Amino acid sequence: MLRRFFLGCAAAAFILPAWASDSLLIAAGAGYRKPVLELLQTFTTATGFKAEASFGNMKQVEVQAKQNTDISLLIGDRAFLEPMQLSQRFELLGTGRLVLVTSKAHALGSINDLGQSQFQRIAVPDRSKAVYGKAAFTCLQRQGLMQAVGSKLLEVATVPQVSAYLVTGEVDAGFINATEALALKDKVGSTVTIDPACHEPIELSLAVLQGRDHSPAAQAFIRFVATPQARQVMQRHGL
C-alpha cells in the first residue's frame, strides 16, 4: 500500500506542470472575494481554462505576489497595487464605492449621524492595508467628524472582518464596500453610500505582473475582463 501511495504522489507531481500551463492563479483583495470568484467561474466556463484565487489584505497580496511566481495577475485597488512596483500595466475592472452600514439595532441617514451617542463602536478596515479604510478616514476628516468619532473607531484588518462585526452586532456601524453591502442587505440595518467626492477615487484594477503574463490562461483572462460578460459580473456586485 505504501508503494502505491508513493507511486500516486509521483504521478501527481509528474502531471502538475501540464495542469499549471493551462491554469491561472490570481491574488486578490479580500473585500472583492465574491465578485472575483464569480468572475473566475464565468471565465472558466467561457474559455475552459482553470482559474484559482488567493485572498488577503493588500499587504498580504503583495507578499504572495513576491514569493509565489505562479501568481501572474493581481486584483485590487490601484492606489495599493501601483506602489508595489510589480506590474507592467493595469486594466480597470470597476469603480469601488464606500458604504456606511449599521448593525440591525441601529439606523442612520448620513455619515454625520455617527456623532450621535448611540454609535459607540465604529469599525473601519485598516487604512494602511485596505483602500476602503483609507477612504473612510479621509472622508471623516473632510467632514470634520474626527473629533466627534475618533475615539469610537475600531480599526480591523479587512472589509470582510468589518462585515462580520456588523452582522454579530459587535459594532454599531462600519465602513465597507458596496460589494459587501449588497451581500449583507438582509443582515444589517441602514446602508448609506458615501459621496465619492468625499475621498480619493477607488479604482478596482487588474494588475499584470512583470514577465508573468505569457501563459495562454493569463492572456485569455486579460482579454476576458474587457468583455460585456465580465462587465456584467462586476456590475452585479456594485462595481
CB 207 within 8 A of CB 81: yes
CB half-sphere exposure, 3, CA atoms < 13 A: 0
Nearest to 84 by CA among 99, 66, 68: 66
**Is the domain of 65 the same as that of 126?**
no
Residue 3 has a pLDDT of 40
**Is the domain of 56 the same as that of 121?**
no
Residue carrying C-alpha cell 471565465: 43
Nearest to 195 by CA among 118, 110, 134: 110
Q: What is the rounded distance in angstroms from the CA atom of residue 15 to the CA atom of residue 81?
A: 33
**Is the domain of 161 the same as that of 229?**
no
**Is the domain of 126 the same as that of 34?**
no
**Domain assignment of residue 18, yes or no:** yes
Residue 11 has a pLDDT of 33
Q: What is the CATH number of the domain that holds 88?
A: 3.40.190.10
Residue 123 has a pLDDT of 98
**Is the domain of 217 the same as that of 151?**
no
**Is the domain of 187 the same as that of 226?**
no
pTM for this one?
Answer: 0.78
From the centroid of its chain, how far is CA 84? 16
Report helix, strand or coil for 200: coil
Percent over 90 (pLDDT), the chain: 80
**Is the domain of 88 the same as that of 40?**
yes
**Is the domain of 178 the same as that of 120?**
yes
Residue 21 has a pLDDT of 53
Domain that holds residue 178: 98-198
**Is the domain of 102 the same as that of 192?**
yes
Q: Which amino acid is residue 175, in one-letter code?
A: F
Number of domains in the chain: 2
Who contacts 45 (Cβ-Cβ below 8 Å, separation ≥6)?
none
**Is the domain of 65 the same as that of 147?**
no
From first to last of its 239 residues, the chain has per-residue pLDDT tens of 434 333 333 333 323 333 345 789 999 998 899 999 999 999 999 999 999 999 998 889 999 999 999 999 999 999 999 999 999 999 999 999 999 999 999 999 999 999 999 999 999 999 988 899 999 999 999 999 999 999 999 999 899 999 999 999 999 999 999 999 998 989 999 999 999 999 999 999 999 999 998 899 999 999 999 999 999 999 999 88
**Domain assignment of residue 1, yes or no:** no
Cell numbers representing residue 117 in the block: 451617542
Residue 130 has a pLDDT of 87
Residue 13 has a pLDDT of 32
